[in-house]
Structure 1
Amino acid sequence: MRSERFAGMHCSVARASAVVADQWTVLILRDLFLGLNRYEDLRADLGIATNILADRLDHLVAEEVVERVAYQQRPARYEYVLTSAGRELYGVVLTLLTWGDRHRVVAGPPLVPVHSACGRPADPRVTCGHCGGELTPEDVTHTAGPGGRTAPGTALVHTVLRR
C-alpha cells in the first residue's frame, strides 16, 4: 500500500504523503471530519472492503493521526478520534473538496461547507498567518530551511531555492 521510500525521503511533502496520500485514507479522513467515527459507519458510508478499512485505520493510528477509543467492551468496539495532528489535516481535506467542486463536479457539489460564524458557504483559501493574504504559487518564494539539504527526494530542490 505505502512505499517506505517516501517516508525516508528528506522532504516534508514526501513524508506527509506517506501518511495520507491514498484515496481511501483521504476519504476516511473526510468522514472522520464529518463525524463518522465508528468502523461500521465508515464501512457502510464508503463501501470499502473490511481488510482495506482495517489497514488504513491501523496505519492512521500508527502514524498518530487518529486514536482508537473503546466505546463498548463486549464485544470490543472502537471509535476513531482525530488527534491534534489529525485535526490539522482539515485544511488539506477541505482544500481537496473545494478543488474537486471546481474541477471535477458532475451535477453540483455533493457537500457544501458552511462557516458556522457567518452562516455562509465557505470559500476556503490558503492564507498567510501573518498578513492574511492569499498564498498562490506566484506570490510565494521558498528559502532553505534549517533542515534543508540535498538528499533523496530533494536532489534538485536547492537549484530553485532563493536564498
Structure 2
Amino acid sequence: MLQPTDVDWTDPECPVARTTDLVGDKWTLLIIRDSLDGKRRFSEFEKSLGVAKNILSDRLRLLVDRGILTRIPNPRGTRSEYELTDAGRDLFTLILSLRQWGERNAFGPDERHSVLIDTSTGQPVPQLHPFGSGGKELDPQEAQVVKVGQQLP
C-alpha cells in the first residue's frame, strides 16, 4: 500500500487527482493496458509501445514502487517479468472506460480501430454506464462530490 508521503499529491483529498498522479502518464497507462493484455517482459513492452528504453525502465520502476506491478526475478538472474498486482488488475475498469470513450470520440465514422471482445461470447464488451443506488443510470448532474464524513446535501 502506498503511503501518503510517497507522492507529492496534486490534490491530496481528491481520488481522481491521486489516481492521475499515480497512473496518469500516457506511457504508464499503455503499460497497464499491455499488462492487462498479457505482456510481462521488458522486451514485449518495448516492442508494443516503441518507447525509449530509459522511459520504459522508469515507468516500470514507478509502477512497481506504486504497487501496481510486481517484478518477478528470473531464477537465472536475467530478464525479469512484470505482473499486475490486485491494485493493477483493478485498473481494468479505468482502461476499459478510456477504450470505450476512445471508440466513441477519438475515431471518425469509417476509421478502423480495435475492439475489446468478451471471449466467452465473441461479442464486444458492453458499454460501461454508472448506475445510482436506486438502479437507474446516473447522469453527471445527479452526482456531487462531498468529503468523507461530511453531511450529504
Q: TM-score range by the shorter chain?
A: 0.7 to 0.9
2:125 corresponds in structure 1 to 122
Residues 122, 132 of structure 1: CA spacing in aligned structure 2 closer, same or farther, 3 A cutoff?
farther
TM-score by length of 1: 0.78
Pair 1:69–1:134, CA change in 2 (3 A): farther
1:73 & 1:51 partners in 2: Cα distance? 23
Q: Residue in 1 aligned with 2:53?
A: 50
Aligned counterparts, 1:12-161, within 5 A: 12-74=15-77, 76-106=78-108, 107-109=111-113, 111-128=114-131, 133-146=136-149
Secondary structure of the residue aligned to 1:15 is helix
- Measure the CA separation in 1 of the matches of 2:82 and 2:132: 30
SS in 1 for 2:118: coil
Structure 1, unmatched stretches of 5+, are 149-160
Over 3 Å counting, the alpha-carbon distance change for 1:140 and 1:35 in structure 2 is: same
* 1:141 Cα deviation after fit: 3.5
Structure with higher RCO (Cα < 8 A, 6+ apart)? 1
Paired with 1:127 and 1:69, the residues of 2 have a C-alpha distance of 36
What is the percent sequence identity of the aligned residues?
33
For the 8 Å contact 1:101–1:108, the answer to whether it is kept is no
Q: How much has 1:120 moved relative to structure 2?
A: 1.3
- The gaps in structure 2 that reach 5 residues or longer are 1-6
* Structure 1 consecutive aligned stretches of length 4 or more whose deviation exceeds 6 Å: none
Conserved? CA contact 2:31–2:45, under 8 Å: yes
Aligned to 1:155: none
The code of the aligned residue for 2:86 comes to S
The answer on whether the counterparts of 1:67 and 1:81 sit within 8 Å (CA) in structure 2 is yes
Instruction: State the Cα RMSD in Å.
Output: 2.3
Q: 1:125 to 1:45 in 2, by over 3 A?
A: same
Structure 1: distance between partners of 2:84 and 2:135: 27
Taking the aligned partners of 1:115 and 1:91, their CA distance within structure 2 comes to: 14
Comparing 46-55 with 97-106, greater Cα deviation is found at 97-106
Aligned residues: 145
Of residues 127-136 and 26-35 in structure 1, the stretch that sits farther from structure 2 once superposed is 127-136
Contact 2:46 2:56 (C-alpha < 8 Å) held by counterparts: yes
Question: What letter is aligned with 2:39?
Answer: L
